[in-house]
Amino acid sequence: MEEAGWVQHTYHVLNNSERVQRLLFDMEAARRGFRSTFDHKFLKPYELALPKVAPALNDLHALVSDNPVQYKNVDSLEDEVNNLLSYWNELDHSLNSQRFEQNKAITETEALLMDRVRAKIALVNTEERRLLDLRENYKNESLSKAIRALMINNAFILLVGSILMRVTYLEFKRRIRAQKALNLKLTEVVDLNEAANERNWMLTGVNKMNDSLQGANSREELVHNALQTLTTFGEFAAGAFYHFNGEANHLRLEATVNMPAAVPAVVAINDGFVGTAASDPNLRVIRGVPPSYWQLASASGNGVAGELVLIPLWVDSELLGVIELASFKPVTPLQVGLLEILKKDIAVAVNAANAREKVMQLLRQVQEQKEILISQQEELRQSNEELSRQSEILQASEEELRVQEEELRQVNTEITVKNYALELARNDLSQKAAELEASSRYKSEFLANMSHELRTPLNSVLILAKMLQENKDKNLTTKQMEYAGIIHKSGSDLLHLINDVLDLSKIEAGKVEMNFEAIPVSEIMDDLSDLFDVVSQEKKIQFIKTIAPDVPITLFTDKLRLEQVIRNLLSNAFKFTPAAGVITLSWYMVNPDTLGISVSDTGAGIPADKQTLIFNAFHQGDGSTNRKFGGTGLGLSISRELMQLLKGSLVLDNSTPAGSTFSIIIPVHPDANANAIVTTDDTLEYIPSPSPLPPPAISDDRHNISKQDKLILIIEDDIHFADILRDFARNKGFKTIVAHNGQDGLAYARKYLPAAIILDMNLPVIDGKSILKILKSNEDLSKILVHVVTAADNAGIGEDNVHGYTRKPLQLPDLEAVFTNINARIQAGLKKVLLLSAGPRSADTAIKAKSEERHLETQYDVAAGVPEARQLLAQKKYDAVIMEIGAELELDKVMEQLETLTSMPETGDTPLIVYLDQDITSSEEQQLKKYAAAIVRNSALATDRLMDELELFLYKLEKKEKVAPQEMPGTATTLSGKKVLLADDDMRNVFSISALLEDQGIEVLTAADGKEAVQTLQEHPQLDLVLIDIMMPEMDGYEAMRLIRADPRFQQLPVIALTAKAMAEDRVKCMEAGASDYIAKPVDNIKLLSLLKVWLS
């Protein structure tokens, strides 16, 4: 019985030590919960357990008081417990939310103290269990002695055996019950330990999640950190976060951890597991996920997730998103409990991140509105100051008005007297106006006639000076050739002066045609920048160009005439502005319907007494003999007249000596009906019937053309210029066909169907306008690109008729621009296809060959791999992409490449065709169809099928069956041996032109007037051509040509009229009198020889 008592005593000691340990565990868990949340409700278990610790230790002391060793162990345990409680008491007064970052250190110290407590408790328990073993051994030994005693004393045993056995049985049974009770209590202790460990694990998870949610700068970073914590601490294989978009009412994938690439980016509400989970705020665990849902892959292999956990995030009945977690093993209730706790923390953090983004957006809006408010306040202050100033002015004006009323009464009396005198002056003014109008008309006629007298000697000067400068006989010195060049340049300058005079005369006579059309303002600015940027750099003048925001994008006006006016104003500004000055070109709106264009400079300015004179012809701001700047004084007069034709005005705002400002005031949408040139179908009343095509005057490529060549047709009557265009086109990679009149040009266009046409407007037989109408009305010819190059204005050339317009004369940069434009438009008309090659045995060659065979207008770019294809797609827009998949490529890698290509923003709606050279299953084909618009398997007819698919996606490109050109023999034209009659009354002209023609091997006969010309022709009827001046004494050129055409022998004889009158009606008069062609003085050597070659061919 004594041994049983000691065993029971040992169990009491063990129970009391476990009780102390359990109280301390509860207090530790409560402290950690408080540190994680700073919520005092978590301290309630701590406060309940604290007063129970001391009694429990006292009970333990009492139980071990008979054992000095255990008593000492319990003393040590009590010291460690007191250390732990003292540490906690110190924290009660110092712990606050600002020391949250010290949680880790506190937890580590606390764990160290707890480990010491546990060690002491373990020491006490170990000693008690040792005593228990000793007492059990002692009990067993006593039992053995008793048995031996019973065996020796059988008689005594028989007497008292039954009693002892009964007693022993009862004692043994009691001890068994005590053993079971002790085991039951031990089980309870183990369960308490497991529950404490689970709570500790969950608190650790909460701490880690709180740590991961802190410091995130955006919602994407926050949810990614949360997923990382869930997958690592919660032991999940993968995870994804879907953010709820309330406006679109769908879930969008925002962050993933270890998820496969095939996870959908957007999920509709109630669609699939994720979409269904969004409609229920409760956490869901999906067990038995089918293998086809998705697979998790790594470098070591792949597998199917066994279970899914779907965590909807809600805050105040508002859905924020859904977290999807995947696990290879079954999800435990402990994991579910942790997720239930963390769900609220993550939802609150996501909601806070959303709110933070909204607040930042609102702050930006408030900042912008604040800046606007400050600006408006400043404007309001200025307006108030201006109103105050105007109020003072108004008061002063009222006072002046009272004084002026008195003066007005006196003036009225004087006006009555002067009215009669004014009426007399008005009648006299009307008479003077009629005389002035007649004088202006006489002046215009005089200028036109005078230009003839100026052009006639100038013609000889320019021709002879050019011949001397060329020095073909090599008999002039370098200095003499330089003199000849100076003479030619001076003559050219004089010609420009004459042209200005003629421009003014044409304007005053009302014979200037205006071509109103919609012109982009940026195009005019670009033209002016190209012209004057270089001038500003050379003269070291700052050139500033501004366009107000409210200026319309397009302006309905005559571009040529408006640019002429602005160029003249800018030229004057650069002429009168010194180095380091500033010139400003400004575009602004005067009112909603009126545009203002001002040119300001910091030059010398214009004196007030000269401002009314500068707009008059031949007047200048400085007309003295020692003036600094030159000029004719016609520029501003012509500009003002042109502005009147443009329905606008030109005004001067001058402030000497600060410079001058000229302003153009022009309507945005003028009524241009009166000035529009109407082209009707009358132009096409007479189209000569096709005739056998003549041999070219210059060699071209008509006998050496293949289907792959870029062919360009040049229709130009100037043989020299046509030759230049032909050589330039060849250098740009074109094959050329050359025609010198409209009829041949149309025939060549129908026969060869060129890619582009360079067209002159002033052509013999059929003019350029008629050709444009014929091309536009013909279905086959309307697709040909047409670029007009002509000396005439672009009047009557609609933008829908031509693709480009360039005015002669052309310089080298102009030719470069012409062919660059043509090349770019041809390339723009081609469908662009990117071919992603599969390797050395790629089918790109066969595809290109089949494309040419079908006459598909396509341009192929070949990429050797996906990286190169991405670069090409980023640089250029393609109409289709063909991807070859060879037999050696793995389908998984192909899928990655396809996803990479289709995910690029540049691919957009570009169709992707897969050209497959391997066998695949139906399921694999379905995967390919997610990315590919069409799949073509390799076979005997695979290339044809690929072309069919390509044609389908390129909207059925039409075939262009080009007719093979027929060979046409031809020879170059030569002037040697020809006989020409030259009729001119000016011997200087006769001498210069004769010298030019004789230098080409032409025999020249001369006549001094029209009558002599007719007689000479009668005496020499075998002449090949007649050059005849118009203004000659005794018989002018008109009458002479009529007499020549009256003779049947000379009806087909080429007659070229020479005249100094450059008016449009002069050409008509010459043609009506019988001229075959017309050339204006001063005669250009090259143009005259080209004209002769045309008519003598």
pLDDT for 897 equals 80
On whether the CB atoms of residues 969 and 695 are closer than 8 A, the answer is: yes
Dist CA 888 CA 870 (whole Å): 22
Identity at 681, one-letter amino acid code: D
Residue type for 338, please? L
Residue 984 CA to residue 932 CA, distance in Å, equals: 79
Task: Give the pLDDT of residue 1054.
Answer: 93
What per-residue confidence (pLDDT) applies to 801? 59
- Domains identified in the chain and CATH numbers: 2-211 (no CATH), 215-331 (3.30.450.40), 355-502 (no CATH), 514-589+613-621+634-667 (3.30.565.10), 698-828 (3.40.50.2300), 832-953 (3.40.50.2300), 979-1095 (3.40.50.2300)
| Contact (CB, 8 A) for 1050 and 1017 | yes
What is the three-class DSSP state of 1029? strand
Phi/psi at 677 (5° precision) = -100, 120
| Residue-wise pLDDT tens digits, 324-362 | 888 888 888 888 888 888 888 888 888 888 888 888 888
Q: What confidence score (pLDDT) does residue 838 get?
A: 58
CB 856 within 8 A of CB 821: no
Residue type, 879: D
448's enclosing H/E stretch is helix 333-470
| Tokens read off for 1081 | 């003085």
- pTM beyond 0.75, yes or no: no
Q: Give every residue of the chain whose pLDDT is below 50, as ranges.
A: 93, 97-98, 298-301, 617-632, 672-694, 795-796, 799, 841, 956-973
Q: Tokens 């508002």 sit at which residue?
A: 318
**pLDDT at site 992:** 81
Give the side-chain half-sphere CA count within 13 A for 114.
18
Distance CA 298, CA 821 (A): 54
Total residues found in the chain within this entry: 1097
So what's the pLDDT on residue 1045?
92
What's the token pair of residue 719?
Answer: 């043989």
Respond yes or no on whether the N-terminal peptide bond of residue 911 is cis (omega within 30° of 0).
no
Would you give the distance in Å from CA 499 to the centre of its chain? Answer: 46
